[in-house]
Amino acid sequence: MNCFEQMLEMGHEQVALCSDRASGLRAIIAIHDTTLGPSLGGCRLMDYPSEEEALLDVLRLSRGMTYKAAVAGLDLGGGKAVIIGDPERKTEEVFRAFGRFVDSLGGRYLTAEDMNTSEREMAIIRQETRHVTGLSKKLGGSGDPGPVTAWGTYHGIRAALERVYGSPDPRGRTVAIQGVGSVGSRLAHHLHEAGAKLIYNDIKPANIARTLEDCGQGTIVDDKGLFAADCDVLAPCAVGAVINPRTLDRIRAPIIAGAANNQLEDDVRDAEALKARGILYVPDYVVNAGGLINVYGEIHGWPPGKSMDRAAGIFDTVKHILAVADEQGITTVAASNHIAEERIAAAARH
């Protein structure tokens, strides 16, 4: 399937291939839908095995941002960018070149930090364009979105616990977290403070060591042990496509709710398989919307604390999605997609 066929299938408006010989930049910017507002989404830096995989990733991620903004009630469209390169070899030249490409889109796409990019890279991009969010507080931005993402994810988990166990209280519940980086470690902190038992999995020993020091307890497992863990909640907070036919049969958790993007390898197939097994899946773009809420607040000048309060509202959003899924007898993914599409269609009509 070529690029235009993929765009047509996923409903994208624009895909920009960006190349700069002097800096070595190779990037793709995908704008999915701007019905509700300018597209916004982070800039991810990864050493993709192929350009085809980079394209598929940015298309899926940008589409997810459209639905995330719509369900969260934000006046934003969905976009995303990926830079193909080694995360260990970041240069100012690459990010300045990327910033010039962002600027050339005239505000149709607003960038932000994502996997392997941070406030530092956003500050470099800001030298070339004003269409960047997630800046440090010193530069008048909202700072690291990780705390808001983790807070929203925590409340999404609480809503799922209430549905399955009759109470949103995490006390005494066991949560297995895949990835204890910026978001996963903060999620672990909230759960630990609430009295939950924790299981950790991460490819970086330093992340686990830091989280253990903060929380003071937890069991460490490998990938195989993670999916087979005897737990109440499986919380993927690292890479995508971890829920697939190769892992589905091993999962023992009755709830899957985490901050990673695109957790399902196939949104329809895997969501149906989880539903058939009686596993409650909280759509990732719903539960991890805190980061987007954070930068939206930055754009609109919200006072301190408002983004955290808005992210806590993910509890009620998840409850609504679960109710719609039950009423219509559909998967939670189909229910959240339907809610997003209805809002976008209503805006398009007006």
The predicted structure's pLDDT at residue 167: 98
Mean pLDDT of 172-183: 95
Mean pLDDT of 90-100: 97
Task: Confirm whether 319 is a catalytic residue.
Answer: no
* Residues pairing with 111 in the sheet: 41, 132
For residue 177, give the nearest of 196, 161, 158 by alpha carbon: 196
Does the reported pTM lie above 0.85?
A: yes
Residue in 68, 80, 90, 197 annotated catalytic:
80
* Token pair of 186 as six digits: 């903060």
The predicted structure's pLDDT at residue 138: 78
5 versus 40: which is more confidently predicted? 40
**What domains are there in the chain, each with its CATH number?**
3-62+77-139 (3.40.50.10860), 146-289+317-339 (3.40.50.720)
| Residue 139 scores a pLDDT above 80 | no
- Euclidean distance between CA atoms 166 and 259, whole angstroms: 23
Cα 39 to its chain centre, rounded Å, is: 15
What separation in angstroms does the CA of 314 have from each of 216, 220, 284, 311, 318? 28, 29, 12, 6, 6
pLDDT one-digit tens code per residue, 45-93:
999 999 999 999 999 999 999 999 999 999 999 999 999 999 999 999 9
| Percent of the chain whose predicted confidence (pLDDT) is above 90 | 85
CA-based R_g, the chain, Å:
19
